[in-house]
Amino acid sequence: MSELPRPQIDEISRPYWEGLEQGRLLYQHCRSCGHNWLPARQTCSACLSTQLEWLQSRGQGRIVSWVVYHVAYHDALKDRLPYDVTLVELAEGPRVLTNIVNSRGGKALRIDARVDLAIEREGDMSLARFRLVEDAAP
């Protein structure tokens, strides 16, 4: 089986990845206008300020949308079928593309379902994944 593609970690995104290694989900916050976001960038997407800081998320959110893949478009994902790619909105506002670890192949997913952070190791990296708070099975 081939290896999963790796993110490009640079000086801008490094705090995010280091936070996950420490068991924390970090997001960027603008000290000028109060906007919060992910993924990392050099300026605030709302006001273009460079007065940024990293804050720790509570790790709580809700499902906004998702897709369930039944075809692997990368060899490393063949053994994971079916798997979800889910858009989660954190309680602090940023949105993150992730996987839901207890989605039962996507069958348990629903809009506005509450989720909690479930950092998982994938090879030599920690990834922000989420777990449904309550069983959302039909």
Round to whole Å and give the CA distance between 116 and 15.
21
Q: What is the pLDDT of residue 136?
A: 46
Q: What is the pLDDT of residue 105?
A: 86
- Tell me phi and psi for residue 4, to 5 degrees: -65, 145
In a structure prediction context, what are the per-residue pLDDT tens digits for the chain, which is 138 residues long? 568 888 999 999 999 999 999 999 999 999 999 999 999 999 999 999 999 999 999 999 999 999 999 999 999 999 999 999 999 999 999 999 999 999 988 899 999 999 999 999 998 999 999 999 975 444
Q: What is the pLDDT of residue 90?
A: 98
Helix ranges, 1-138 (H)? 14-21
Q: What is the pLDDT of residue 89?
A: 98
Q: What is the pLDDT of residue 138?
A: 46
User: Residue with structure tokens 């990293």?
Assistant: 54
The answer to whether the CB of 31 falls within 8 A of the CB of 49 is yes
The answer to whether the CB of 63 falls within 8 A of the CB of 109 is yes
Assess whether the previous peptide bond of 39 is cis (omega < 30° from 0).
yes
Residue type at position 21: E
